[in-house]
Each structure stands twice: as structure tokens, then as C-alpha cells.
Amino acid sequence: MSTATSEAARRRTFAVISHPDAGKSTMTEALALHASAITQAGAVHGKAGRRGVTSDWMEMERARGISITSAALRFDYRGHMFNLVDTPGHADFSEDTYRVLAAVDCAVMLLDAAKGMEPQTMKLFEVCRHRRIPVITFVNKWDRPGQEPLELLDEIEERTGLRPTPVTWPIGVAGNFHGVVDRMEGRAVRYTRTPGGATKALETELTPEQGAAELGADWTRAWEETDLLAAIGAEHDQKAFEAHESTPVLFGAALSNFGVARLLDVLVDLAPAPAPRPDVEGTVRPLDAPFSGLVFKVQANMDPAHRDRIAFVRVCSGRFERGMVLTHAATGRPFATKYAQSVFGQERATIDEAYPGDVVGLVNATALRPGDTLYEGKPVEFPPIPSFAPEHFAVARSRSTAKSKQFRRGIDQLDGEGVIQVLRSDLRGDQAPVLAAVGPMQFEVVQHRLATEFGAEIILDRLEYTLALRTDAESAEVLRRQRGAEVLSRSRDQALLAVFTDQWRMRSIQREHEGLTLEPLIAGRGI
Ligand code: G4P
């Protein structure tokens, strides 16, 4: 086996998908703690007050107590190298959130035991479904009152269509958490909290005699329920899991580290290792082919002192070595990788080598855009990351005409980073582009960054459109004459988009003018 293949086999690259407040930050810290990437919980996350911040950008994050940036946390566990790719977790939704999922091989869906499947969990789950990313479910906060575990399983199945296959089953209802029956290992463990939850939780195996004597009715009930699960065939099936048909489920409490070690074990044992990826033509690039990687996120000015622009690349094949000169598939130009880093929040470390599944931050990556491919040797290009249908639209104008150059430059740069989609039309002119966003917070980010990084204050006028569909030149002629509709050209690829005030308007225009070309911007349910 080549080095790239054997190194890929011990990689696990995943993201945690959840609704805000379900405990993603707490889980991230707990995972890193167990994996000994850090020594004390609370040290990795850049959340409100937990850590010093240096940039304006980070200040905005801090003020909101949210994570706008996303990168990857690397840690070692049981001889495996984990890459935990951070998904922004704020209530609003941006395109970044979708794109980072292009970099992972598996997702951990984190649910709040009391709230179950929440709206943002569902949205992120839809992206996983679309990309066929296997999902492991972790029911968090079992130390607090919540739903019945069997009810939760029903809800998961109903909402996701995946068959839940519990790996562990809680002993004690939510709020009275003693430990779990490990259905895969055929044993029961008791969890004991350590002060402050800052060190690993204590796990002790329980014999049937101990369990029955010490936990009484809770013990009996847990075993009765696991018998029921066995009777309905809720057993793990690796093929079904990888085919996105079933989801292993674990119960725990990230805050007290209950069940976190088991989650890491499940990731090692069940989560798929990086697999060879098909290129745009559908030809699979083997893991041991020369280096290739996919840019899944670009972030400028994370550190304004350096005015840098970092492109996050997921290694798809071969060995990455810092200093190597790659080819940028979109332009055919060479790209030097002298500055390669792993970045998570404010933490940075130089990366000297990386293998399939790893995430590398390339500094000074001015030419790179999300969806771009970098390669060594034989040319390869991976399929672009789909851009998602925007639902919010606003016209942007520079507050001062003296700043129109800065305004244009800024808009182009943010377009290039994929912060927002920029749409134009002859009618509106160059100085009044339409910004299109998946979530309205993208507008605030644009406004903030144009002012602080480019010195261009902008005025934003929200438009009443809520729907965008792809069209062609012929249909555009008709659509341009309709009330409640407009045709715009997307700057990044010149695609013609028809925007409408709402579904009903679009349908009525469609009824009046048969044969109009109107295609969804991305296939897939609910996206
Ligand atoms: P997020 O990143 O998904 O938004 O969630 P975060 O980890 O910040 O957790 C949200 C709140 O839920 C936090 O409380 C956190 O302590 C709590 N939490 C997370 N996991 C568990 C758990 O397993 N059990 C219990 N009981 N609580 C949990 P907070 O008071 O809002 O914030 P903080 O001041 O503790 O940071």
C-alpha cells in the first residue's frame, strides 16, 4: 500500500451539524479533550469571552457570540488522525455552511435531547443527504430533562428517512442519566461526572448484578427497551449506514463528557475513511495519485495585521508537502505553497505534510475560489461545489461616489471569496449590483467588511424577491417584461438567473407563458 493510501485509511474527516445551542462547541471541546489535542476543555473554541480575539472580524463574531469563520481542528485518537471541520453554527444561514460539507466524509448530527430535530439541523441534514454523507446521530444533554428515547428515534426516522440503529441506549430517562447499555459491545457502563467536566468522565463497567442492585427500575427498563430494539431489527448495518439509509445513534452529555469517548470510537470503527474522488468527468482519481485538493472555503483578512487570504483545501489524493508548487486548475497557473497552516479559530500551526482527508490552510491564496482544484502532475478538476439558491436580495450602492473604485474592488473580492453572490443587469448598471444571499446575515458581513477592509460604506436596499431560478436568453426576453420578476446575470459564471417575488408569482407567469426555461439552482429536496 502506498503511503497516501495507508495514511488516508487512518484519517477521519467529519463535521458536527446541529442547531445553535445544541452543544456543538461543547462537543468540539470534549472531543479534543478526549483526543488529547488540548489539556483543558474551553481552550479551543473562540466563543464569547473564552479567548482573546485580535481582529475586527473576530470582534464581530465575539459580539454575536457566534462562529462565522470555519476551519478544521486536527487531533490524534487511537492511531487515527481526525479532521473536525467546523460548520458555522449561528441561527442565520450562509453559503459557507453548505460548502464546508464538501470537505467531509461523515457528519455527526448533534441533537438536544429536549428539542430533537430542529430547523437548522434539518437544513444541514438536507445537504448531507444531497451529498450522500453518512450521518452518525448523537443525542446530547441527556443529563437534562428531555424526550423519551423511543420517541426521539421515531422523530429521527420520520424527519430524516434514516433508520436509527442505536449503538448505545441510555440507562435512566433524560435528566436522570446513569450510563448506557452498549448494544454493539454487549455491555453496560456507568458514567461518573468529574468536577467541572474539564477532565474525562469516569466510565465503569457494570455487571448485571451491580446494575440491578444499584439502578433498579432504570436498569430493567433500559434492557427491556434494548430487547425491543433487537426485536425490531435496529441493528447497525455498515452498508446501509454508508449508503445513507441508516444512522447509528449514541446518547450522552457533552458537557460532562458522557459518551464522548464512545463517539470517537464509533468514528474510528464505523465512519468512512477518505475515498478516491471522481473528477468532473467522473473518472476517479486514486488516493495514491499525485497531490490533488479541493478548495472548499476562502477567508480573507482573518488577521488584518497581515491582510492575508486563506484558502482551505481538502486533500483528495497524494501527499501534500509544504513548499511544493501546484497547478491551479481554473487558471493553469502555478501556485506555491510555502505558507501552509492548520487553522482553527485563532490557533494556527504550520503544516509540513498532509494526506487525503486533511485540511490545509493556504495563506496568500489570492487567486483561489471555493470549488477550485489544485493539483500536481496530471491535470485534474473536481466537480464545482454547487452554489445554493439565494432567498434574500438587496441592491448595494457606495455611500460616497468618491469611493466607487474601492466599492467595486471590494464587491469583486467578496464575490471571489464566495461570501455573497453578485448579480448584475444592464438596467441597474455597474454601480448598483444586486447581492443575493442564502441567509440575511451575509449582507451584514458584506457591509461590515466593505467598510472595514475597503473603506467603502454602503447603502443596502432590500428587494422583495425571495426566489431565484436559472433561465436562458430566450426566456429572459419574456421574463424581463413581467411584473414581480427580473433577470440578472451572476458575475461569477455569467449564469442567467430569474428572480421572483414568490412562488405564486413565478407559477402564474409560467402558466401564462408556456415553455419558459426555469430550472432550480440545485437539485435535492428542500435545498
Ligand atoms: P452551540 O455551540 O451548539 O451553540 O452550543 P454550546 O456548546 O455553546 O452549548 C449551548 C449551551 O448548552 C451551553 O450552555 C452549554 O454549556 C450547554 N450544554 C452543552 N452540552 C450540554 C450537555 O451535555 N448538558 C447540559 N446540561 N448542557 C449542555 P450556556 O449556559 O448557554 O453557555 P455557557 O455559558 O455554559 O457556555
The pLDDT of residue 251: 97
Listed in sequence order, the residues at least 6 apart from 58 whose beta carbon sits closer than 8 Å to its beta carbon are: 46, 69, 302, 346
pLDDT at site 119: 87
Nearest atom (ligand 1) to Cα of 48 = 36
24 lines ligand 1 (CB under 6 A): yes
Of ligand 1's atoms, which has the minimum distance to the CA of residue 252?
Answer: 23
d(CA 92, CA 268): 32
Is 186 labelled as part of a ligand binding site? Answer: no
Supply the residue whose CA is at minimum distance from atom 36 of ligand 1.
26
Which among 93, 153, 156, 151 is positioned nearest to 124, based on CA atoms?
93
Q: How far is the CA of 26 from the centre of ligand 1 (A)?
A: 6
What is the residue-level pLDDT of the chain in tens, covering all 527 positions? 789 999 999 999 999 999 989 999 889 888 877 775 533 333 344 443 333 323 333 444 444 333 333 467 888 899 999 999 887 655 556 677 778 888 999 999 999 999 999 988 998 898 899 889 999 999 999 999 999 999 999 999 999 999 999 999 999 999 899 999 999 999 999 998 776 555 666 789 999 999 999 999 999 999 999 999 999 989 999 999 999 999 999 999 999 889 999 999 999 999 999 999 999 999 999 999 999 999 998 877 655 555 667 788 999 999 998 889 999 999 999 988 876 666 655 556 667 889 999 988 887 777 888 899 999 999 999 988 876 788 999 999 999 999 999 999 999 988 887 889 999 999 999 899 999 998 888 898 899 889 988 999 999 999 999 999 999 999 999 999 999 999 999 998 889 999 999 999 999 999 999 999 998 876 433 33
Under a CB-based contact definition with an 8 Å cutoff, are residues 488 and 508 in contact?
no
Kind and range of the H or E run holding 410: helix 404-417
Q: Taking a C-beta distance cutoff of 8 angstroms, is the pair 352, 321 a contact?
A: yes
CB atoms within 10 A of CB 203: 16
The pLDDT assigned to 447 comes to 92
Among 403, 399, 420, 402, CA closest to 411: 420
Tell me if 21 CB under 6 Å of ligand 1: yes
DSSP structure string for 272-340: PPP-PEE-TTS-EE-TTSSPEEEEEEEEE-SSTTTT-EEEEEEEEES-EETT-EEEETTTTEEEE-S-E
Task: Tell me: is residue 88 an annotated ligand-binding position.
Answer: yes
Q: What are the angstrom distances between the C-alpha of 438 and each of 123, 450, 496? A: 12, 19, 17
- The rounded distance, in Å, linking the Cα atoms of 331 and 374 is 10
CB atoms within 10 A of CB 59: 13
Q: State in Å: Cα 29 to ligand 1 middle.
A: 11
pLDDT for the residue numbered 9: 97
In this structure, what C-alpha cell is assigned to residue 457?
A: 460604506
146 in contact with ligand 1, CB cutoff 6 A: no
50 CA: nearest ligand 1 atom? 36
In eight-state DSSP terms, residue 166 is E
ipTM over 0.95: yes
The model carries a pTM of 0.83
Q: Residue 145 and residue 316: Cα distance in Å, rounded? A: 43
Q: For residue 28, what pLDDT is reported?
A: 87
> From the CA of 22, how far away is ligand 1's center (Å)?
7
HEC string for 452-513: HHHCCCEEEEECCCCEEEECCHHHHHHHCCCCCEEEEEECCCCCEEEEECCHHHHHHHHHHC
Kindly report the backbone phi and psi dihedral angles of residue 294, in degrees, each rounded to the nearest multiple of 5, phi listed first. Answer: -115, 125
Determine whether the shortest distance from the Cβ of 482 to ligand 1 is under 6 A. no
From 440, 467, 357, 454, select the one nearest 412 (Cα to Cα): 454
The predicted structure's pLDDT at residue 59: 47
CB atoms under 10 Å from CB of 527, counted, come to: 17
What is the DSSP secondary structure assignment for residue 263, as one 8-state letter? H
Cα separation, 291 vs 143, in Å, equals 46
Is 161 annotated to bind a ligand? Reply is: no
Rounded to whole angstroms, the Cα distance separating 50 from 44 reads 9
Number of the ligand 1 atom closest to the C-alpha atom of 19: 3
C-beta of residue 164 within 8 angstroms of C-beta of residue 237: no
Q: And the C-alpha cell for 60?
A: 464581530
CA 14 / ligand 1 centre spacing (Å)? 21
Q: Which of 131, 7, 100 is nearest to 344 (CA)?
A: 100
Q: What kind and span of H or E run contains 444? A: helix 441-454
Contact 41, 390 (CB under 8 A): no
Is 22 touching ligand 1 by the criterion CB < 6 Å?
A: yes
Cβ neighbours for 416, distance < 8 A, ≥ 6 positions apart: 298, 369, 492
Q: Alpha-carbon distance 64 to 185, whole Å?
A: 42
Q: How far is the CA of 39 from the centre of ligand 1 (A)?
A: 19
Amino acid in the structure at residue 33: L
Which is nearest to 497 in space by CA: 505, 488, 486? 488
Residue 90 annotated as lining a ligand binding site: yes
Supply the pLDDT for residue 65.
33
Q: Cβ–Cβ contacts within 10 Å for residue 350, how many? A: 11
